[in-house]
Amino acid sequence: MAFKVTVVSTSPIDGQKPGTSGLRKKVKVFKQPNYLENFVQATFNALTPEKVKGATLVVSGDGRYYSKDAVQIIIKMAAANGVRRVWVGKNTLMSTPAVSAVIRERSGADGSKATGAFILTASHNPGGPTEDFGIKYNMENGGPAPESITDKIYENTKTIKEYPIAEDLPNVDISAVGVTSFEGPEGKFDVEVFDSADEYVKLMKSIFDFESIRKLLSSPKFTFCYDALHGVAGAYAHRIFVEELGAQESALLNCVPKEDFGGGHPDPNLTYAKELVARMGLGKSDTGGEPPEFGAAADGDADRNMILGKRFFVTPSDSVAIIAANAIEAIPYFCSGLKGVARSMPTSAALDVVAKSLNLKFFEVPTGWKFFGNLMDAGMCSVCGEESFGTGSDHIREKDGIWAVLAWMSILAHKNKDSIDGDTKLVTVEDIVRQHWATYGRHYYTRYDYENVDAGKAKELMEHLVKLQSSIPEVNKIVKGIRSDVANVSSADEFEYKDPVDGSISKHQGIRYLFEDGSRLVFRLSGTGSEGATIRLYIEQYEKDASKIGRESQEALSPLVEIALKLSKMDEFTGRSAPTVIT
Ligand code: G6P
Ligand code: ZN
């Protein structure tokens, strides 16, 4: 079928600066005339026509509301920009980690390889007509575009005058697997719809020992529950956990992907994954019955994960440290060693202690998965993670929610390899974590989020904290005035990162107050919200003394919390007496 190219005049639209992870706005913003089109064309222009012409492009996402319209628009624009092929997940569904895997691993029937992807997701933000939509571009390595590209995209959105589009191209049926071919002014253009679970399952099988996990799952001692929060993880969960690993169907909660995530907030944390939290015996009300031994949840696009044991929460910062500490023994992919490990700055230093003890290369990067990608491409990092419920490895260039669950299952299978059949008690998630603390010490950790705060006030709060940093003695006077039982602040700064691979410098990546005993207070403005500002406060305290590692974390941290709130004048600036979410 032949198509023509029309050039549409447009003008710049304000506010199209990509955040930590692409452009995220309310659906109604995206539905404005030319809004999506301007951003897509600004991206094509940033990549340069040479790279776009003849390219194979992946376009898919978490299937949230507006994805189906957006896919058709991007297909028409890709055709008009001379893209050779577009690969689309069936019903637009492809998790963010699966997109990364498809870019890196998949070959088309003619041997073609993808050169990049538009991922349609607002990750953990709610979806639906009145909620969020989002788009981000991933590069040839399967990772998010670096700042050099996102800056160019933003610049282009400020000067854009026109974009080409194949308006007469019929909508492609994205519900059926297959190839549809078209003929444009520059030659052939194909749209291939496929099920990305095949590629993803193959990759997971090359990393983990599915046989040993299957054995764990078949044991009556081991019970499991997975909550996809109606995000795209559901499209993979049945295949992997039920079909490949033999879990019961009833182990899957909310695993049917929905455009509006069933009206929920698809963020896997103790506040939003309510059903799972209740099932795991961590809710306010008891659901009755014995909770499963292991529980996990994913966010909308399936790159985040939450790991739970029976009545037990594993902090994401501990999770990555524990995976790193056990990877070599428990996960075949790492059997020859780890190239290095990395965490984002606000993530607790639990990983640092493991790195030191195992003599591993270690990196502390700003928030945002893209910073890990460079290290991985350079062969400097194998395992990395963030406090924001992201964990992953160099098998792809995105964090990977299901990978994290399989990593934990592998560790559980390994620790239980002798006990799974016999009468011995199961080594539980909680046992593994407590053992880890006993070996490496415990990093008490909590995060306070103040969502949708007035942007001006949030900025003022940050400026106030930066100003305070000019005099540490002054800070200590204030701190001691609030609580005399905490250590002194030894230094304070705004985190700045020099990428060891390309030398690029990222400034203003969060305000840190570092205490003499290793405790830390970190303040950051979120880069993923779509309305107002979200202030994040991260609080951490290291405890080496084995007799003091069993405390309630909120109680152990309460002196530091008090200091953080008073030092920052949080209530005063935000007008809030409590955070929106505590994780
Ligand atoms: C996304 C990125 C993560 C990052 C997180 C931070 O999920 O992929 O790498 O940690 O955003 O979000 P924030 O809202 O704190 O900027
Ligand atoms: Zn996500």
Judge if 551 and 415 occupy the same domain: no
pLDDT band at residue 201 under the 50/70/90 scheme:
very high
Question: What spacing in Å lies between the alpha carbon of 1 and ligand 1's midpoint?
Answer: 42
Q: Residue 21's pLDDT is what?
A: 81
Task: Give the Å distances, CA to CA, from 388 to 158, 320, 446, 558.
Answer: 31, 11, 11, 21
177: left (phi over 0), alpha (psi -120 to 50) or beta: beta
* Same-domain pairing of 126 and 23: yes
Q: Tokens for 481, please give them.
A: 């005035």
Ligand 2 centroid to Cα of residue 60, in Å, is 14
pLDDT score for 579? 94
- Does 247 reside within a domain? yes
C-beta separation of 539 from 562 below 8 A: no
Q: Are strands 390-393 and 383-386 parallel, antiparallel or unpaired?
A: antiparallel
Ligand number, closest to the Cα atom of 64: 2
Residues 386 and 477 placed together within one structural domain of the fold: no
Query: pLDDT (tens digit, 9 = 90+) per residue, 405-425?
Result: 999 999 999 999 988 877 889
Beta bridge partners of 189: 182
Nearest ligand, measured from the Cα of 392: 1
Asked whether the beta carbons of 246 and 212 are under 8 A apart, the reply is: no
Nearest CA owner, ligand 1 atom 15: 526
The two three-digit tokens of residue 145, written as one number: 């575009």
Q: Average pLDDT of 466-479?
A: 91
User: In terms of DSSP H, where are the helices of 253-315?
Assistant: 274-279
408 with 418: CB under 8 angstroms? no
DSSP 8-class letter at 61: E
pLDDT at 157: 97
**pLDDT value at position 93?**
98
In this structure, the answer to whether residues 160 and 214 fall within a common structural domain is no
Please determine, for residue 286, whether its predicted confidence score (pLDDT) is greater than 70. Answer: no
What is the separation of C-alpha 260 from the centre of its chain, rounded to a whole number of angstroms? 19
Mutate which of 21, 508, 509, 534 for ligand 1 pocket (most atoms within 8 A of beta carbon):
21
Distance 99 CA to ligand 2 centre (A): 12
Q: Taking 80 as the threshold, does the pLDDT of residue 548 lie above it?
A: yes
Do 178 and 239 lie in one domain? The reply is: no
Atom number, ligand 1, closest to the C-alpha of residue 527:
16
Query: pLDDT for 42-67, tens place per residue?
Result: 999 999 999 999 999 999 999 999 99
pLDDT band at residue 238, thresholds of 50, 70 and 90? Answer: very high
* Residue indicated by tokens 């500490």: 325
| Tokens (6 digits) for 184 | 């444009």
Question: Is residue 123 annotated as part of the catalytic site, yes or no?
Answer: yes
Closest residue (by CA) to atom 2 of ligand 1? 368
In a domain, 1, yes or no: no
Q: Are 310 and 280 in contact (CB under 8 A)?
A: yes
Distance CA 134, CA 527 (A): 13
Domain that holds residue 257: 199-440
- Helix (H, G, I), strand (E, B), or coil: what is residue 135? strand
Of 317, 528, 536, the one to substitute when testing ligand 1's pocket (max ligand atoms within 8 A of C-beta) is 528
**C-alpha–C-alpha distance, residues 19 and 297, integer Å:** 24
Sheet with 85-89, edge to edge strand ranges: 23-26, 132-138, 116-120, 56-61, 85-89, 187-194, 178-184
Q: Are residues 130 and 176 in the same domain?
A: yes
What's the token pair of residue 180?
């549809």
359: CB partners within 8 A, 6+ apart: none
CATH number at residue 365: 3.40.120.10
Q: Report yes or no: 512 and 345 within 8 Å, Cβ to Cβ.
A: yes
Report phi then psi at 204, rounded to 5. Answer: -60, -35
Question: Under a CB-based contact definition with an 8 Å cutoff, are residues 324 and 330 in contact?
Answer: no
Predicted confidence (pLDDT) at residue 259 exceeds the cutoff of 70: yes
Q: Are 343 and 272 members of one domain?
A: yes
Considering every ligand atom, which ligand is closest to the CA of 99?
2
If one counts the domains in the chain, the total is: 3
Question: Does the pLDDT of residue 287 top 80, yes or no?
Answer: no
Tell how far the Cα of 147 is from the centroid of ligand 1, in angstroms: 15
Index of the ligand 1 atom closest to the CA of residue 19: 16
Q: What percent of the chain has a predicted confidence (pLDDT) above 90?
A: 88
The CA-based angle 382-387-390, given to 5 degrees, is 50
pLDDT in tens, 353-376: 999 999 999 999 999 888 999 999
- Side-chain-side CA neighbours of 265 within 13 Å: the count stands at 9
State both tokens at 273.
């994954």
The verdict on residue 296 lying in a domain is yes
β-bridge mates for residue 306, sequence order: 297
3-state SS assignment for residue 369? coil
Task: Answer yes or no: do 416 and 447 share one domain.
Answer: no
* CA gap 276, 278 in Å, rounded: 5
**Which has the closest alpha carbon to 103: 123, 119, 79, 91?**
119
Q: Which atom of ligand 1 is nearest to the CA of 524?
A: 15
Catalytic residue of the set 123, 344, 348, 530: 123
Render pLDDT for 513-529 as a digit per residue (tens, 0 to 9). 999 998 999 999 997 76
How far is residue 583's CA from residue 579's CA, in Å, rounded to a whole number? 10
The pLDDT of residue 571:
93
Q: Per-residue confidence at 306, pLDDT binned at 50, 70, 90?
A: very high
Last residue of a domain, one of 195, 220, 241: 195
Residue 19 confidence (pLDDT): 83
Q: Which pLDDT score, from 0 to 100, does residue 84 have?
A: 97
To test the pocket of ligand 1, the residue of 17, 20, 497 to mutate (highest count of ligand atoms within 8 Å of its CB) is 20
> Do 253 and 329 have their domain in common?
yes
Question: Does residue 206 register a pLDDT over 90?
Answer: yes
Give the pLDDT mean for 313-329. 97
Residue at 241 is within a domain: yes
Cβ–Cβ under 8 Å, residues 36 and 136: no
Q: Average of pLDDT values for 284-291?
A: 76
The helix (H) or strand (E) run that includes residue 216 is helix 210-218
Query: Mapping DSSP to helix (H, G, I), strand (E, B) and coil, where does residue 156 land?
Result: helix
Calculate helix-pair angle for 401-415, 429-440, nearest 10 degrees.
80
User: What is the Å distance from ligand 2's center to 15 Cα?
Assistant: 22
Choose between 531 and 219: higher pLDDT. Answer: 219
Tell me whether residue 127 is in a domain. Answer: yes
**Atom of ligand 1 minimally distant from the CA of 368:** 9
The mean pLDDT of the chain is 95
Q: How many CB atoms lie within 10 A of CB 547?
A: 6
Kind plus residue range of the DSSP H or E element containing 305: strand 305-309
Nearest CA to ligand 1 atom 13: 526
For CA atoms 374, 524, 441, 469, the dihedral sign is positive
Instruction: Pick the last residue of a domain from 410, 440, 470.
Output: 440
Nearest ligand by distance to the CA of 97: 2
Residue 383 to residue 321: CA distance in whole angstroms: 9
User: pLDDT of 127-151, one tens digit each?
Assistant: 999 999 999 999 999 999 988 899 9
Question: Which atom of ligand 1 is nearest to 299's Cα?
Answer: 7
440 CA from centroid of ligand 1 (Å): 27
The rounded Å distance from CA 370 to ligand 1 centre is 10
- Residues 328, 240, single domain; the answer is yes
At residue 265 the predicted structure's pLDDT band, cuts being 50, 70 and 90, is very high
Q: What is the CATH number of the domain that holds 545?
A: 3.30.310.50
Position 76 in a domain? yes
Report the separation in Å between the CA atom of 299 and the middle of ligand 2, taken as the mean of its atom positions: 6
Minimum CA distance residue for ligand 1 atom 4 = 368
What confidence score (pLDDT) does residue 530 get? Answer: 66
Residue 367 CA: which ligand 1 atom is closest?
A: 10
User: Are residues 117 and 57 both part of a single domain?
Assistant: yes
Do 420 and 451 reside in the same domain of the chain? no
> According to the 3-state scheme, what is the secondary structure of 504-538?
CEECCCCEEEEECCCCEEEEEECCCCCCCEEEEEE
* Average pLDDT estimate for 9-27: 93
Instruction: Indicate the residue among 440, 464, 492 that finishes a domain.
Output: 440
For ligand 1, atom 9, name the residue with the nearest CA. 368
Q: State whether residue 68 is helix, strand or coil.
A: helix
Whether the predicted pLDDT of 316 surpasses 70: yes
φ, ψ (nearest 5 deg) of residue 154:
-60, -45
Ligand 1 contacts (CB < 6 A) are: 20-21, 123, 344, 367-369, 386, 388, 390, 526-528, 536
Tell me the ligand closest to 61's alpha carbon: 2
Spatial neighbors of 557 by CB under 8 A, at least 6 apart, are 444, 445, 446, 539, 541
Helices (H), 219-349: 234-237, 274-279, 316-330
